[in-house]
Chain A
Amino acid sequence: MYAQMVDTGVKRVQGLDEMSAEERAFQERIDAGIKIEAKDWMPEGYRRTLIRQISQHAHSEIVGQLPEGNWVTRAPSLKRKAILLAKIQDEAGHGLYLYSAAETLGVTRDQVYADLLSGKVKYSSIFNYPTTNWADIGTVGWLVDGAAIMNQIPLCRCSYGPYSRAMVRVCKEESFHQRQGYDLVMTMARGTPEQKQMAQDALNRWWWPALMMFGPPDSDSVHSAQSMQWKIKILSNDELRQKFVDQTVPQAEYLGLTVPDPELKWNEDTGHYDFGEIDWEEFRQVVAGNGPCNRDRLRTRVKAWDDGAWFRDALLAHAEKKSERQVAAAKAA
């Protein structure tokens, strides 16, 4: 979801009997629920898949600041402005925390970030949609952070220690964001007719992209089967999506807002909501770089990085000067 369609590099999932002794011991630890730590032996595919997954997640947190930052200068009350600033600060913190988790796997933050800037590694498709009215800020907290939690709570139990611990910490803050987002939408849904219209408009635009966050149906995907065997993916995309719909529809009803899906209906037999077909072509296009904001988002981050080069270089230059001076002083003494 924040990490969508993570490639595991395998063509077929191996059974225990096909594995080397090391691989088998590794898989047996995972099956026994023992966490893998950074210094432990791990298959190269596991390591590389985790780097992809964690860095996609980290990039999502970083890029996710942009659609919210779009409204921070226009927040309509000082209290809401403070809440939004605090949320954006949390998201940046999540990004840093996740980059650190990725670094335990033997990559550097700068390498991983360079792959985002070059467009090689993606971030969640959701952040390629625009925030066009103030209710979007609440709706993003409610739906996007809500979907993130849905995905990340199971990941607190994932097999890789540093990632699972990162998820525990991140989830606490995400659920705070979701409550605050819902509170914002509620205030608008119960406000003036214009505010209510903004809230409905925001739900209309964010509903389907939020469902797409969980990624395409993965029942037949070799990558998700492999990730599940490694316990770095716990529930399938469709299971998570269904849980999200079941949780969110009553919340929308409580607000007096209409979910933009004429086929949405409670199913007595299954005990779940049935919902309409997702436009997977739109999803593929957004992932491929053709969403409404892909180019803007990437351009903004690239520009920030390029404009900041002198700043980062200067800090290095200063550190070098300082250590040279220390060496010189030590010699003189």
Chain B
Amino acid sequence: MLLDDKSVYLMRLGDNALVLSQRLSEWCGKGPAFEEDMALTNIALDLIGQARMWLSYAGEVEGRGRDEDALAFRRDSHEFTNLLLVEQPNGDYAQTLVRQFFFDAWHQLVLEALRRSSDDRIADIAAKAIKEVAYHLRRSSDLVVRLGDGSAESRRRMQDAVDELWMFTGEMFNADETEELLGAQGLACDPSTLMDAWLAMVSEVFAEATLELPAGEWMQKGGKQGRHGEHLGLLLAEMQFLQRAYPGATW
């Protein structure tokens, strides 16, 4: 039971990084400025590196002989355990950025906690990842401020993106049994403990950005348990195409 919970938890961390990386790489060569193309590719690359570390470990803990690629390319949508937030489509650049900011702020808090995990390997991966994520968060919060407090159009686009994505943020803080159990053991972090810090961080950036926190309280959930929206299936169909079409090949 414990092993199952642990591999499930590791898979969630890996799936978040993998799915968001996949979304960012859809921008490849199509960003609004050269520097943005560079930054998005760079962040996608960081996240793929993190996904590989989490998924490899998840596969080892699971003990069924699945490596990072088996987990990435041969699970179906209902077996993916990423947050609904990261599977949301890129939309315009404002939506991509707001999605990134919401996630980065959460990601940093999670990794900060995992650095103190009782599991050495989790602590090591988190310590490595947090250096990258600190940069991701610096960049995304800086851009949220500049675009929120930019032109009338950029402010409207950013506020629209915030309103659009807000209902996918609640899930980040819903602890389920797995997280409660592993959290109590000091192995993982109970995400419900991160809510206040996250909200404080977002509120501070939004104040500077002249953006408003949405009033809506109804939150979507289910990603962590494998209940996704329609977008994830298509993302996976594209990502998994070669592994599915040519099973057994080595690439």
A interface residues, Cβ below 8 angstroms from B: 62, 65-66, 68-69, 72-82, 85-86, 88-89, 92-93, 95-96, 99, 109, 134, 187-188, 191-192, 194-195, 300-301, 303-305, 307-315, 317-318, 321
Contact = CB atoms under 8 A, between A and B. Distances in A.
B242 A134 contact: yes
A77 B154 CA distance: 37
Interface of B: 18, 22, 25-26, 28-38, 41-42, 44-45, 48-49, 51-52, 55, 68-69, 72-73, 92-93, 145-147, 149-151, 153-154, 157, 238-239, 241-243, 246, 248-251
Nearest to A192: B249
A73 B238 contact: yes
Contacts of B52: 78-79, 82
Contact of A85 (B41, B146, B239, B241): B41
Contacts of B238: 73-74
A85 B250 CA distance: 20
Q: Is the interface of B mostly helix, strand, loop or mixed?
A: helix
A76 B243 CA distance: 6
Nearest to A87: B41
Closest 6 CB pairs of A and B: A308-B32, A314-B150, A314-B154, A69-B28, A65-B29, A76-B242
A300 B153 contact: no
A73 B25 contact: yes
A96 B34 contact: yes
A317 B35 CA distance: 18
Nearest to B45: A85
A123 to B, nearest CB: 13
Contacts of B44: 85
Contacts of A65: 28-29, 37
B249 A72 contact: no
Contacts of B68: 78
18 contacts: A65-B37, A74-B239, A75-B242, A76-B251, A82-B52, A86-B45, A88-B29, A92-B41, A96-B34, A188-B251, A300-B30, A307-B32, A310-B153, A310-B157, A312-B33, A315-B146, A315-B147, A315-B150
A71 B82 CA distance: 23
A95 B34 CA distance: 9
B45 A318 contact: no
A132 to B, nearest CB: 13
Nearest to A84: B25
B37 to A, nearest CB: 5
Contacts of A66: 28-29
B32 A312 contact: yes
Contacts of A188: 251
A312 B36 CA distance: 10
B163 to A, nearest CB: 18
Given A77-B243, A304-B30, A311-B36, 13 more contacts: A65-B37, A66-B29, A78-B68, A81-B48, A82-B45, A88-B41, A89-B38, A96-B35, A99-B34, A195-B249, A307-B32, A311-B93, A314-B151
A63 to B, nearest CB: 8
Contacts of B55: 78
Contacts of B22: 73
B146 A187 contact: no
Nearest to A66: B29
B250 A191 contact: yes
Contact of B28 (A88, A301, A310): A88
B210 to A, nearest CB: 10
